[in-house]
Amino acid sequence: MIQEKYAPHDIEAKWQKYWEENKTFKVEMDKDKPKSYVLEMFPYPSGNLHMGHVRNYSIGDVIARFRTMKGFNVLHPMGWDSFGMPAENAAIKHNIPPKKWTLENIANMTRQLKALGLSYDWDREVTTCKEDYYKWTQWFFELFYKRGLAVKKESAVNWCDTCNTVLANEQVIDGKCWRCDHEVVKKDLSQWFFKITDYADELLKDLDLLPGWPERVKTMQHNWIGRSEGLEFSFEIPALNDTVAVYTTRPDTAYGVTFMALAAEHPLIKKICENNPKADEINAFCERVRNQSEIERTSSESEKEGVFTGVYCINPFTGRKVEIWVTNYVLYDYGTGAVMGVPTGDQRDWMFADKYGIEKIVTICPIGKELKLEEMTCAYEEKEGMLVNSGEFTGMEMHKAMSAIMDKAEAEGFGKRRVNYRLRDWLISRQRYWGAPIPIIYCPHCGEVLVPEDQLPVRLPEDVSFTAGAKSPLATSEEFVHCKCPKCGADAIRETDTMDTFLCSSWYYLRYTDAHNDKMPFDKELNNYWGPVDQYIGGIEHAILHLLYSRFFVKVLRDAGLVDYDEPFSNLLTQGMVIKDGAKMSKSLGNVVSPEEILSKYGADTARLFILFAAPPERELEW
Ligand code: ANZ
Ligand code: ZN
């Protein structure tokens, strides 16, 4: 007899139990069947699922079930991105060990996922904060180290005072910390970096291998990598018997240079200040600029400031003597840290010249139109024009002139064509507790030494103080810090920083293909069968973080012979946000609708059907 009323709780509970007992969604490699790997970005175990999760996982579940019904051998796993700051903050606030807090949250969220009836192969669950996982994260650090891709270097790094740790460039959004929105400052520190810049060119080129990715994400990565071609060339400084190099993407404007602009960190400044009556003024200015935030220094609206050094340099194209200024708008870690100032060609230079009464010379005119300085109100930045006032290049079309001018610099030996990237190396050290310890030992005789593979994992100590100030909490555990050098046996100390959690999430999709392997991070054959991920689903907020780091990881692993493909995710779907009353659902706005409430009222099928039909997957969904 057909029941009049649908009773989701009885029906769903029955089948969820059946699936669990029969391991209905468990899969194994089967070379006779075509495979399909369907994956949703794994969650951070914050404690409860939100509607964004429900949407993300419902979309993935539909694809996985559909492909199963079509006869594919479908891998559809789930796990936990479980290292990171919230666990540590809970420890500080409520005095709960991070591990306990995390595992309890995972238990609760697992229950919620199961109540949603999602078709996961739970036997492959991975949890990044567990030893059987982070052992391999450390193993990968060692692999990168051995390949020369993990290096320790001293540099000015992004520091968040609220989170009490350094941040990667990708984690600084408009000058602010991605986690807490606090303004980021610069600090000189010696830190571990992954050399993602070694792969800049390939990461850019291989975007073409990804027709199944949204154009928007590819454009964001393209711009983040920021490849440009230009000329690097040198100006002589007669008074110092030295030279200063600039990088320009507009060599066609070389005859319009009227000043030289240095970053406040430029190494030449020290020499410029020797026996210089303006030394105090220059140093005070540099000091002030260095304390300005990244936003203040780079925003197009912020005031362009500088100080004249009293020293001159010579433009090799024209023989013209120009003033050397120290400025706040030239970045020290891009190009050469020095810019040839062309007020008529670059708006920043225009504003700077206006402020300090520096001369302007017109050298580029729109085609067929004479440009008079008196009539100009801003720089002419168009990429179309003709050269004037440019010696032998006068009358030339600007793109032809670019190449001719670069030829001249190369022929006369004062310059060279050069490719530049915006992308910087990935800073992976964190002065935080809840992460995978960096497996390095510092020995007074041997220097930096890798912890031998058979001694991994380097376990997180538990006798720590969480409020250690600017150093990592790991440094407060005497037992952790002191050790013997694996090479010579001398008393040594351990690295006390942990790894950026984005490193843990850069390879989790590989581990699902062989989640219980204790000899290797994964078996090559299994991984090559399942990988790459055929359909990945997640939020656009990871466009240049997780999605770029994972691409980098796979390329390094391919070069190390561990995987046989170039890209981790063949197709990507970035699902839209779930919003309510026009705003993102969030605790702080008090507009959160809890999945549990919907589940208990209407059941999983209704909840999932609603969230799938209410809007196309890529679009925002108004609850
Ligand atoms: C002279 C010039 C004239 C420029 C002109 C532009 C227009 P992309 O495309 O991002 O590579 N630049 C170089 N190094 C810099 C630094 N460390 N800080 C700030 N600006 C820097 O940009 C390259 C251009 O950005 C370079 O070309 C340089 O200004 C500036 F009409 O040189 B140009
Ligand atoms: Zn922060």
Give the pLDDT confidence of 208-231 residue by residue, as tens digits.
999 999 999 999 999 999 999 999
Q: Which atom of ligand 1 is nearest to the CA of 228?
A: 11
Average pLDDT of span 86-93:
85
- Give the tens place of pLDDT for each residue, 244-260: 999 999 999 999 999 99
Give the C-alpha separation, 343 to 360, whole Å. 6
- DSSP β-ladder status, 73-75 and 35-40: parallel
What is the predicted pLDDT for the residue at 178? 87
Give yes or no for a contact between 459 and 131, defined as CB atoms under 8 angstroms apart.
yes
Distance from Cα 536 to the centre of ligand 1, integer Å: 37
Distance from Cα 472 to the centre of ligand 1, integer Å: 38
Crossing angle between the packed helical segments 131-146 and 546-559, to the nearest 10 degrees: 60
- Which ligand is located closest to the Cα atom of residue 343? 1
Give yes or no for a contact between 313 and 236, defined as CB atoms under 8 angstroms apart.
yes
Give the C-alpha separation, 53 to 42, whole Å. 9
- Which ligand is located closest to the Cα atom of residue 350? 1
Give the C-alpha separation, 36 to 31, whole Å. 12
Q: Which atom of ligand 1 is nearest to the CA of 333?
A: 17
Q: Which residues line ligand 1 (CB under 6 A)?
A: 228, 247-250, 253, 263, 330-331, 334-335, 337, 339-340, 342, 345-346, 420
What is the predicted pLDDT for the residue at 476? 93
**Tokens in use for 147?**
């390949």
Strand partners, 223: none
Distance from Cα 203 to the centre of ligand 2, integer Å: 28
Read off the pLDDT band of 309 (50, 70, 90): very high
Give yes or no for a contact between 247 and 260, defined as CB atoms under 8 angstroms apart.
no
Q: Which atom of ligand 1 is nearest to the CA of 338?
A: 17
Strand partners, 388: none
Q: Which atom of ligand 1 is nearest to the CA of 335?
A: 14
Give yes or no for a contact between 248 and 256, defined as CB atoms under 8 angstroms apart.
no
What is the predicted pLDDT for the residue at 235? 98
- Give the tens place of pLDDT for each residue, 167-208: 888 888 888 888 888 988 888 889 999 999 999 999 999 999
> What amino acid is encoded at 327 in this protein?
T
- Give the tens place of pLDDT for each residue, 525-560: 999 999 999 999 999 989 999 999 999 999 999 999
Q: Which of 297-301, 397-401, 442-446, 608-612 has the lowest mean pLDDT?
A: 297-301
Dump strand ranges (E) for 131-179.
150-160, 165-167, 172-173, 176-177
**Tokens in use for 500?**
């950026």
Give yes or no for a contact between 305 and 327, defined as CB atoms under 8 angstroms apart.
yes
- Which ligand is located closest to the Cα atom of residue 261? 1
Nearest to 317 by CA among 250, 269, 367, 380: 250
**Whose alpha carbon is nearest atom 8 of ligand 1?**
228
Distance from Cα 161 to the centre of ligand 2, integer Å: 7
**Whose alpha carbon is nearest atom 7 of ligand 1?**
346
pTM: 0.90
Strand partners, 450: 440
What is the predicted pLDDT for the residue at 1? 67
Read off the pLDDT band of 468 (50, 70, 90): low
In order of 255, 259, 281, the CA distances from 242 in angstroms are 22, 17, 22
Pocket test for ligand 1, best of 224, 227, 232, 249 (most atoms within 8 A of CB): 249
Q: Which of 293-307, 371-385, 390-404, 602-616 has the lowest mean pLDDT?
A: 293-307
Output the furthest CA–CA distance in the chain (Å, rounded): 100
Strand partners, 190: 154
Give the C-alpha separation, 306 to 213, whole Å. 44
Edge-first strand listing for the sheet containing 482-484: 447-450, 440-443, 491-494, 482-484
Give the C-alpha separation, 41 to 546, whole Å. 10
3 state DSSP class of 500: coil
> What amino acid is encoded at 128 in this protein?
T
Does the pLDDT of residue 452 top 90, yes or no? Answer: yes
Distance from Cα 16 to the centre of ligand 2, integer Å: 40
What is the predicted pLDDT for the residue at 274? 95
* Residue 452 C-beta-side C-alpha neighbours within 13 Å: 8
> What amino acid is encoded at 474 in this protein?
L
Distance from Cα 160 to the centre of ligand 1, integer Å: 28
**Whose alpha carbon is nearest atom 2 of ligand 1?**
250
- Which ligand is located closest to the Cα atom of residue 225? 1
Q: Please, what is the average pLDDT of the chain? A: 94
**Whose alpha carbon is nearest atom 32 of ligand 1?**
248
Pocket test for ligand 1, best of 229, 329, 331, 346 (most atoms within 8 A of CB): 346
Q: What angle do CA 125, 126, 128 make, to 5 degrees?
A: 155
Q: Which atom of ligand 1 is nearest to the CA of 249?
A: 27
Distance from Cα 334 to the centre of ligand 1, integer Å: 9
Pocket test for ligand 1, best of 334, 363, 389, 423 (most atoms within 8 A of CB): 334
Average pLDDT of span 344-348:
96
CB atoms within 10 A of CB 111: 11
Distance from Cα 158 to the centre of ligand 2, integer Å: 10
- Which ligand is located closest to the Cα atom of residue 431? 2
3 state DSSP class of 549: helix
Distance from Cα 342 to the centre of ligand 1, integer Å: 10
> What amino acid is encoded at 34 in this protein?
P
- Give the tens place of pLDDT for each residue, 478-501: 999 999 999 999 999 999 999 999
Give the C-alpha separation, 322 to 315, whole Å. 7
Strand partners, 339: 261
Residue 419, φ and ψ in degrees, nearest 5? -105, 135
Residue 340, φ and ψ in degrees, nearest 5? -80, 125
Give yes or no for a contact between 363 and 389, defined as CB atoms under 8 angstroms apart.
yes
**Whose alpha carbon is nearest atom 12 of ligand 1?**
339
Give the C-alpha separation, 340 to 521, whole Å. 50
Distance from Cα 37 to the centre of ligand 1, integer Å: 44
Distance from Cα 242 to the centre of ligand 2, integer Å: 42
